Structure 1
Amino acid sequence: MELRHIRYFLAVATEQNFTRAAAKLNIAQPPLSQQIRALEEEIGTPLFYRTPHGAELTDAGQAFLNEVTPLPQQILQAKEAAQKAARGETGKLRLGVTGTAALHPAIPAVIRQFRRRYPQVSLTIEEANSLALADSILHDRLDAAILRPSDPDPVALTIEHFLTEQLVIALPSAHPLARETTELSMHALQQEPFIMTPRTLAVSLHDAVVAVCHKAGFEPVEGQAAPQIASILSMVSAELGVSLVPESMRQLSVKGVAFRTISDTRSKVELAVAYPSRHATQAAQNFAAIVRQQKQAMAALNGA
Structure 2
Amino acid sequence: MELRHIRYFLAVAEERNVTRAAERLGIGQPPLSQQIHALEREMGVRLFRRTGHGVVLTEAGEAFATDAKRLLSDARNAVEKAQSAGRGEIGQLNIGFTGSAAFNPVVSKLIREFRQSFPNVNLSLVEGNTAQLLAYLHDKRLDVAFVRLGSQSPAGVSFHHIATEPMKIVLPASHRLASKKKASLSALADEAFVLLPREASPTLHDVIIGACRDSGFEPILGQQAPQLSSVVNLVAAEFGVSLVPASVCQIQVEGVGYVDIHGATVSIRLALATREDGATAKIANFVSIANQMSAKRPS
Post-superposition CA distance 1:256-276 (Å, at most 9, x none)? 111111112222111011122
Distance, in Å, in 2 between the alignment partners of 1:69 and 1:172 is 72
Q: CA deviation at 1:50?
A: 3.5
One-letter amino acid of the counterpart of residue 133, structure 1 = L
Task: Give 3-state SS (helix, strand or coil) of 2:177's partner.
Answer: helix
Greater alpha carbon shift after TM alignment, 226-235 vs 114-123: 114-123
Report what 1:120 is aligned to: 120
One-letter amino acid of the counterpart of residue 140, structure 1 = K
Does residue 200 (structure 1) correspond to residue 171 (structure 2)? The answer is no
Distance, in Å, in 2 between the alignment partners of 1:280 and 1:136 is 16
Greater alpha carbon shift after TM alignment, 51-60 vs 184-193: 51-60
What pairs with 1:77-226 in structure 2 (closer than 5 Å)? 77-179=77-179, 181-226=180-225
Are 1:197 and 1:225, in contact at CA under 8 Å, matched by a contact in 2?
yes
Are 1:130 and 1:149, in contact at CA under 8 Å, matched by a contact in 2?
no
What pairs with 1:240-251 in structure 2 (closer than 5 Å)? 240-251=239-250
Report what 2:6 is aligned to: 6
TM-score (structure 2 length as normaliser): 0.95
Greater alpha carbon shift after TM alignment, 237-246 vs 251-260: 251-260
Distance, in Å, in 1 between the alignment partners of 2:178 and 2:52 is 102
One-letter amino acid of the counterpart of residue 47, structure 1 = L
One-letter amino acid of the counterpart of residue 58, structure 1 = T
Report what 1:45 is aligned to: 45
Are 1:166 and 1:247, in contact at CA under 8 Å, matched by a contact in 2?
yes
Q: CA deviation at 1:237?
A: 0.6
Report what 1:280 is aligned to: 279
**Structure 1: tracts of 5 or more residues without a match:** none
Distance, in Å, in 1 between the alignment partners of 2:158 and 2:64 is 53
One-letter amino acid of the counterpart of residue 217, structure 2 = F
Task: Give 3-state SS (helix, strand or coil) of 1:195's partner.
Answer: strand
Task: Give 3-state SS (helix, strand or coil) of 2:239's partner.
Answer: coil
Report what 2:26 is aligned to: 26
TM-score (structure 1 length as normaliser): 0.93
Distance, in Å, in 1 between the alignment partners of 2:58 and 2:129 is 69
Report what 1:291 is aligned to: 290
Q: CA deviation at 1:229?
A: 1.1
Q: CA deviation at 1:224?
A: 0.6
Distance, in Å, in 1 between the alignment partners of 2:57 and 2:250 is 75
Distance, in Å, in 2 between the alignment partners of 1:14 and 1:185 is 83
Post-superposition CA distance 1:148-176 (Å, at most 9, x none)? 12343233222111111111111111011
Are 1:168 and 1:246, in contact at CA under 8 Å, matched by a contact in 2?
yes
User: What stretches of structure 1 move > 6 A for 4+ residues in a row?
Assistant: none
Q: CA deviation at 1:102?
A: 0.6
One-letter amino acid of the counterpart of residue 80, structure 2 = E
Are 2:165 and 2:246, in contact at CA under 8 Å, matched by a contact in 1?
yes
Q: CA deviation at 1:75?
A: 2.1
Q: CA deviation at 1:51?
A: 4.3
Greater alpha carbon shift after TM alignment, 151-160 vs 202-211: 151-160
Report what 2:270 is aligned to: 271
Are 1:143 and 1:281, in contact at CA under 8 Å, matched by a contact in 2?
no
Post-superposition CA distance 1:33-60 (Å, at most 9, x none)? 1111111111112212244542222222
Task: Give 3-state SS (helix, strand or coil) of 1:194's partner.
Answer: strand
Task: Give 3-state SS (helix, strand or coil) of 1:176's partner.
Answer: coil
Post-superposition CA distance 1:175-226 (Å, at most 9, x none)? 11224x3111111111111111111000110000011011011111100111
Report what 1:59 is aligned to: 59
Post-superposition CA distance 1:22-80 (Å, at most 9, x none)? 11111011111111111111111221224454222222222111221223222222222
Distance, in Å, in 2 between the alignment partners of 1:214 and 1:21 is 83
Q: CA deviation at 1:12?
A: 1.2
One-letter amino acid of the counterpart of residue 183, structure 2 = L
Q: CA deviation at 1:128?
A: 0.6
Distance, in Å, in 1 between the alignment partners of 2:177 and 2:49 is 99
One-letter amino acid of the counterpart of residue 88, structure 2 = G
